[in-house]
């Protein structure tokens, strides 16, 4: 098995929205905001080669929307999805599976592109199956008012139209190296992949734990549909992570790729931070 960090660039989101009820005077210490109260966040994905599979987890925000959409998110950085896959030694045609933790635009927008020749939006990974939980698909395609702006039909419907869409209901035999945890606080049936690698369990934390700054229990995003449930889910996950020394792969932390956590007098806190390459 081989693992690769796939960097797809950075974007900005409102710091208050990212930390919910936590005051700026506190969260600004770990995630400093700019003059517009915006914090920088990564859109980090993970590539897994195992036997005859090349599995990508999430795919970033993409580039097919018009400037009026992207002006709100201040995309920056020199990395891109395709470039990072190439840097890992592969092409987009090599991807066999794309697991989508959930369908918010910053997690699944890179999986489809506008094809000028066909004058339509098509899946980027032409030989891959795309995977999401069926309840999340229903949630995204029949959106509630709170999340409607985060679920974009142009990111979703082409997967179904081109017969690339597959549903994960339970641990699929297809992914023998990956186990799935399902959580509902952020959005319905978000998938949290757990990967067995040598003597480690590497957890792709997605939006259950966006960054090191979100480890304290009350630090819950304003975007979450069920914040109290998020706290319960995060509490259970962090206790398990501390007890089993999980390596937590951080999708949105602008600085840290991975961390471990441990018990302290203040509760569970970060133990170490490091890059994925340091453990491979």
Report how many domains make up the chain.
1
Q: Give the whole-angstrom CA distance, residue 20 versus residue 221.
A: 5
The percent of residues above 70 in pLDDT, for the chain, comes to 99
The rounded mean pLDDT for the chain is 95
The domain of 133 spans 2-278
- Residue by residue, DSSP assigns 29-76 as TTS---TTSEEEEEEEEEEEEETTEEEEE-----S-S-HHHHTTT--B
Please give the pLDDT value at position 174. Answer: 78
Element (H, E) at 149: none
Please give the pLDDT value at position 116. Answer: 85
Tell me the angle at which helices 153-161 and 134-141 cross, rounded to the nearest 10 degrees: 130
Q: Give the whole-angstrom CA distance, residue 203 versus residue 106.
A: 19
Please give the pLDDT value at position 170. Answer: 58
The CATH number for 180's domain is 3.60.15.10
Please give the pLDDT value at position 117. Answer: 87
With beta carbons less than 8 A apart as the criterion, state whether 257 and 243 touch: no
Q: Give the whole-angstrom CA distance, residue 90 versus residue 16.
A: 38
Nearest to 215 by CA among 229, 225, 205: 205
155, 165, 8, 96 alpha-carbon torsion, rounded to 10°: -150
Residues of the chain with pLDDT under 50: none
Tokens describing residue 244: 């089993």
Please give the pLDDT value at position 134. Answer: 94
- pTM of this structure: 0.95
Task: Give the three-class secondary structure for 230.
Answer: helix
Tokens describing residue 218: 């009350």
Q: What is the DSSP letter of 165?
A: E
For the stretch 171-221, pLDDT in tens is 555 788 899 999 999 999 999 999 999 899 999 999 999 999 999 999 999
167, 138, 235, 254 alpha-carbon torsion, rounded to 10°: 80
Please give the pLDDT value at position 173. Answer: 56
């Amino acid at each position: 098995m081989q693992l690769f960090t796939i960097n797809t660039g950075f974007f900005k989101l409102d710091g208050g929205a990212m930390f919910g009820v936590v005051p700026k005077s506190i969260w600004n210490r770990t995630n400093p905001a700019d003059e517009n109260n915006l914090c920088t966040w990564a859109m980090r994905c993970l590539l897994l080669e195992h036997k005859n599979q090349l599995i990508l987890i999430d795919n970033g925000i993409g580039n097919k929307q018009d400037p009026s959409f992207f002006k709100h998110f201040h995309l920056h950085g020199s990395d891109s999805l395709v470039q990072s896959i190439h840097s890992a030694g592969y092409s987009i045609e090599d991807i066999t599976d794309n697991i989508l933790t959930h369908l918010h635009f910053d997690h699944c927008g890179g999986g489809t592109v506008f094809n000028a020749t066909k004058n339509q939006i098509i899946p980027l990974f032409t030989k891959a199956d795309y995977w999401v939980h069926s309840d999340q698909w229903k949630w995204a395609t029949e959106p509630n008012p709170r999340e409607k702006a985060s679920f974009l039909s142009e990111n979703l419907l082409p997967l179904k139209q081109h017969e690339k869409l597959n549903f994960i209901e339970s641990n699929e035999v297809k992914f023998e190296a990956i186990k799935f945890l399902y959580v509902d606080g952020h959005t319905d049936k978000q998938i949290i992949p757990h990967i067995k690698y040598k003597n480690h369990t590497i957890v792709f934390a997605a939006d259950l734990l966006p960054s090191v700054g979100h480890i304290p229990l009350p630090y819950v995003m304003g975007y979450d549909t069920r914040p109290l449930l998020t706290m319960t889910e995060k509490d259970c996950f962090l206790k398990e992570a501390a007890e089993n020394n999980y390596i937590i792969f951080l999708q949105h932390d602008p600085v840290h790729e991975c961390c471990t956590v441990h018990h302290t007098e203040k509760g569970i806190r970060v133990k170490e931070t490091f890059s994925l390459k340091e453990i491979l």
